[in-house]
């Protein structure tokens, strides 16, 4: 494995020298590099270097300037034998000359004529619509073996629309792992992501969403991926607890879940009953951010006992308590949910396989000897408790009971 730092900010001779060095390492398998492919001589040497690396399996290529489209197509063709490609095209020019636009149209045609690539994993980060339209879509169509796709872009609607079109035409039949990191808002996401999920012919194994996606993606996710999805990461995608409960009830194969339940997503004037049983009883790893406690309530107060927030947290803990296969748990909140008198810690006594406990927000502020002794007694496999500032009395007591515990 070899990694070159950003050379595009220095003399081009340094880039040329580095590429000559690479040519002398024909056994190289993994490479991270940043280049200025807007320069003809660097591009030409880069293509020669790629052809001199017959064992190269994975490449991460970063370009901060607008890349000549034809140059990029020639690079892609030289990468046809790779298993993994990460392409970060970070130019952000808002105004492009007409010749640049025509060049990218020619690039699209050239990519469409390329032989199929062997890529199984593609990471694409692009910020210009012209790059997405003329590089991303035709490149997807040349990767029929792709199993893992990660896309990061502010051109969100365009990129997901192209993805949906490619999927609908069954040109990515082996896609199993999808990550979408976009600047979606709920209004422009609904009606796009759900279409893409509906077009995946084989069930996804993992899905990572970052952005505001609304709730229309939930039904197609359950309908088409309930028998296959094992990893769902929505920690950067706020949803309501009601939508989250639909997912947990409809995706029984889940093993890892990360989610953010945002109070802003709730309509407290039209509360639906929280009565769905979570079916993913084999869940191993769970990370939840509970943004559902009105800040003017404190657990145990009279106002708290009749609040919607209490109903929500009661429901969450009643379901988490049934996930007896859990090995790693993190529940973050601005409320002290584990306080002795009114907390929820005791409900988790059945998690006998728990190995790692993450404490975030305010949940650990009042941890003391009681909490340490309770954990030692009820979680026999506990190995790690993570939080930056755990109380000394808690750590000392737990370490006495479990000498090998890590903090």
pLDDT in tens, 217-242: 899 999 999 999 999 999 988 888 88
Q: Contact at 8 Å (CB) between 199 and 168? A: yes
* Predicted TM-score (pTM) of this structure: 0.90
3-state secondary structure of 382: coil
**The CATH classification of domain 1-146, taken from the options 3.80.10.10, 3.40.50.620, 1.10.10.10, 1.10.10.1100:** 3.80.10.10
Residue 152, beta-bridge partner list: 125, 181
The answer on pLDDT for 44 being more than 60 is yes
Min mean pLDDT across 7-16, 66-75, 107-116, 204-213 is at 7-16
3-state helix, strand and coil shares in percent for the chain, rounded to the nearest 5: 35, 20, 45
Averaged pLDDT, 65-75: 88
Per DSSP bridges, beta strands 356-361 and 148-153 are unpaired
pLDDT band for position 106 (50/70/90)? very high
pLDDT > 70 in the chain, percent: 87
45-50 CB contacts, 8 Å cutoff, 24+ apart: 45/16, 45/19, 45/20, 46/19, 46/75, 47/74, 47/75, 47/78, 48/19, 48/23, 49/19, 49/20, 49/22, 49/23, 50/75, 50/78, 50/79
> What are the residue ranges spanned by the domains of the chain?
1-146
Averaged pLDDT, 238-263: 92
Radius of gyration of the chain (CA): 25
The answer on pLDDT for 150 being more than 70 is yes
Averaged pLDDT, 24-35: 94
pLDDT band for position 306 (50/70/90)? confident
CA distance 375 to 346: 10
CB atoms closer than 10 angstroms to residue 353: 16
């Amino acid at each position: 494995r070899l990694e070159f730092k950003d050379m595009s900010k220095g003399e081009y001779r340094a880039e040329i020298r580095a590429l000559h060095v690479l040519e002398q390492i024909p056994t190289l398998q993994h490479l991270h590099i940043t280049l200025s492919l807007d320069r003809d001589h660097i591009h030409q040497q880069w293509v020669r270097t790629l052809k001199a690396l017959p064992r190269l399996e994975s490449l991460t290529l970063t370009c901060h300037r607008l890349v000549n489209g034809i140059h990029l197509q020639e690079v892609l063709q030289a990468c046809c034998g790779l298993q993994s490609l990460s392409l970060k095209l970070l130019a952000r020019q808002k105004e492009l000359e007409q010749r640049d636009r025509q060049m990218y149209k020619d690039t699209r045609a050239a990519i469409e004529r390329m032989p199929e690539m062997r890529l199984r994993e593609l990471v694409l980060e692009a910020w210009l619509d012209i790059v997405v339209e003329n590089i991303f879509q035709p490149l997807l169509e040349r990767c029929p073996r792709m199993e893992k796709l990660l896309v990061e872009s502010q051109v969100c609607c365009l990129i997901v629309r192209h993805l949906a079109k490619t999927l609908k035409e069954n040109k990515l039949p082996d896609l199993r792992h999808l990550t979408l990191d976009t600047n979606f808002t709920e209004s422009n996401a609904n009606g796009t992501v759900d279409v893409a999920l509906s077009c995946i012919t084989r069930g996804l194994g993992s899905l990572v969403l970052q952005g505001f996606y609304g709730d229309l993606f939930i039904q197609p996710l359950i309908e088409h991926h309930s028998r296959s999805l094992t990893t769902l990461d929505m920690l950067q995608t706020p949803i309501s607890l009601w939508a989250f409960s639909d997912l947990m009830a409809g995706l029984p194969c889940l093993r890892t879940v990360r989610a953010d339940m945002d109070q802003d997503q709730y309509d407290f004037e039209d509360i639906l009953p929280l009565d769905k049983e979570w079916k993913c009883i084999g869940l191993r790893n769970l990370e939840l951010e509970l943004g559902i406690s009105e800040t003017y309530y404190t657990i145990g107060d009279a106002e708290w006992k009749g609040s919607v927030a209490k109903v929500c947290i009661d429901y969450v803990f009643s379901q988490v308590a049934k996930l007896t296969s859990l090995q790693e748990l993190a529940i973050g909140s601005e409320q002290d949910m584990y306080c002795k008198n009114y907390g929820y810690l005791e409900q988790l006594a059945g998690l006998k396989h728990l190995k790692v406990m993450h404490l975030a927000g305010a949940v650990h502020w009042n941890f003391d000897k009681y909490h340490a002794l309770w954990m030692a007694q009820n979680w026999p496999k506990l190995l790690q408790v993570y939080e930056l500032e755990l109380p000394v009395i808690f750590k000392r007591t737990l370490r006495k009971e479990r000498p090998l515990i890590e903090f």
